[in-house]
Structure 1
Amino acid sequence: MNSKIGTIYGIGVGPGDPELITLKASKILRTVDVVFAAASTKNNHSLAVRIASRHIPETTPIHKLSFPMTTDPDETEKAWCEHANTIYESLDAGKDAAFLTLGDPMTYSTFGYILRCLKDIEPNIPVETVPGITSYQAAAARLNTPLVEGEESLLVVSGAKGGDRLRRLENKPETVVFLKAYRNVQDITRAIGEADTPYDSKGIIKCSQPDEEIINDMEIFKNRRPDYWTLIIAKQKK
């Protein structure tokens, strides 16, 4: 083991617009020795790398790590640990490394899983997490709509299980955000409509990316398959 273990930086690159990367993230990306990012197993594409590319020197190595799109927890865990070992090889050599993540590193992010595996390898590993702007924060800004005000409450939930999380709540929050709503958008829309208090819902596809689209009428999804990067913001009507 090297006498000095490198630092792992979890870098949130924001939702899509390169100008939404923080100054601190940009500064770190210009100084680390190596950059890692999750990539598609199909074509090795990494949206996070594309977003951050202007902030990374051409001489800095970028390693794209393929993660399987599977619901098998054992296969997923295996991939996390294998990639953590790959990252640790650089850290053990004394190199500082950045792991890029869309949005924020501590909100529905691959970095959280990687970090746990790294700490299993070396509990005292130096870590610094740099927060990023989440997709739903950017979406609220695009809509010019406050997420919550005063004593209001906010629920941020994965759309992987449809609208069941909202249905189970006796006291409905004033605002609900469904992330990655693409597979279950119709059930999510139904759950919002079933609430005793009426909600006003809007969808945003690929928020802050060049081909961003705002959906004002959720009925459109009855005849259209949503994109993977689809989120829904539902606010109780006042």
Structure 2
Amino acid sequence: MGRGARGEAPGRLIGVSLGPGDADLITRRAWAQLQRSDALWSYPQRSLKTDSYALAIAQRAGLAVPADALQLIFPMTHDVEKLSRAWLRAAEAVLPVLRSGRDVLFLVEGDASTYATFGHLARTVQALDAEVALEIIPGVTSFHASCARLQLPFSEQDDTVAIVPAAYGVDMVERQLDDYDTLVLMKIKPLLDELLTLLSRRGLLEHSHFVERAGAPDERVLRGTELLQLQGTKVNYLSLLIVKNPQRLRGDRVKGCKKKTPLPDPLPNIPTT
């Protein structure tokens, strides 16, 4: 069913991760794919009136966008029916190319397996044609890039970490605060004021960090009480909060968790013979 007119196998659908915004974070493997002249570029776009963030990363890297590059519209909505129709339209747009035996590169900001549109497209394509092969090129995530920018360890020793879409609600976020050393809150835009109120009430503002459009030229970073500047404002969809739990960092007992073993002191200087 999926083979082309000459009987060749379908092309591969390749998720090309580009990192969160800094073109220097594109991996060599992703770069090699973007140099190909035989593959079709495709990229996600929220609407015809907005630019593609993923495509902009490739452009900042100095890459010329191929004339036949294909934009795929994925609207910002929680309406399951609208999303399903968008995924189907995107899959139907790339399938003829794949069935001709040509690979399709799908450009993704961040990492293609982490809160990315690529998974929805890949599942829909394979539901229509199971012979289409997939490949995912891993990339730097926004939270890892943010920790590097902040010079903040993401995790150490036996730290526990949770990565949570804030849309689950403030009550759930508060429960997570007691159970993890590091909490990464994604998609914070709709609940930002409520999250700031929570962090203030829990005395966690000084241990919190805000990063918007990590690695992009207009990146914004705020730390501690600087976050109060955000109250009543609108932030970009590509924003996150990284919260450290000071009780767990001190090794205090939290909800029956085993007390953490402190890091050893540095080794003394040992004379050599």
Match of 2:93 among 82, 86, 91: 86
After superposing on structure 2, the runs of 4+ consecutive aligned residues of structure 1 that deviate more than 6 Å are 196-199
Q: Deviations over 1:32-54 (max 9, x none)?
A: 52011111314241110111134
Change over 3 Å in CA distance of 1:145–1:68 after alignment to 2: same
Counterpart of 2:83 in structure 1 is 76
Change over 3 Å in CA distance of 1:79–1:223 after alignment to 2: closer
Change over 3 Å in CA distance of 1:198–1:62 after alignment to 2: closer
- Higher Cα Rg: structure 1 or 2? 2
CA displacement at 1:4 relative to structure 2? 2.0
Q: Name the amino acid aligned to 1:63.
A: L
For residues 197 and 182 of structure 1, the distance between their equivalents in structure 2, rounded to whole angstroms, comes to 19
For structure 1, list consecutive stretches of 5 or more residues without a partner in the other structure.
Answer: none
Aligned pairs, how many? 238
Tell me, yes or no, if the aligned pair for 1:201 and 1:232 is still in contact at 8 Å: yes
CA displacement at 1:78 relative to structure 2? 1.0
Tell me, yes or no, if the aligned pair for 1:138 and 1:207 is still in contact at 8 Å: yes
Counterpart of 1:236 in structure 2 is 245
Q: Name the amino acid aligned to 2:233.
A: R
* Structure 2 residue 26 is the aligned partner of structure 1 residue 21: yes
Q: For structure 1, which segment, 222-231 or 142-151, has the greater mean C-alpha deviation from structure 2 after superposition?
A: 222-231
Q: For structure 1, which segment, 76-85 or 37-46, has the greater mean C-alpha deviation from structure 2 after superposition?
A: 37-46
Counterpart of 1:167 in structure 2 is 174
For structure 2, list consecutive stretches of 5 or more residues without a partner in the other structure.
Answer: 250-273
Tell me, yes or no, if the aligned pair for 2:204 and 2:243 is still in contact at 8 Å: no
CA displacement at 1:58 relative to structure 2? 5.0
* Structure 2 residue 211 is the aligned partner of structure 1 residue 212: no
Q: Name the amino acid aligned to 1:207.
A: A
Counterpart of 1:130 in structure 2 is 137
For residues 170 and 211 of structure 1, the distance between their equivalents in structure 2, rounded to whole angstroms, comes to 30
Task: Describe how 1:67-216 pairs up with structure 2 within 5 A.
Answer: 67-169=74-176, 171-193=178-200, 195=202, 200-216=207-223
Counterpart of 2:11 in structure 1 is 6
CA displacement at 1:230 relative to structure 2? 1.5
For residues 59 and 15 of structure 1, the distance between their equivalents in structure 2, rounded to whole angstroms, comes to 22
CA displacement at 1:165 relative to structure 2? 2.6
CA RMSD of aligned residues (A): 2.1
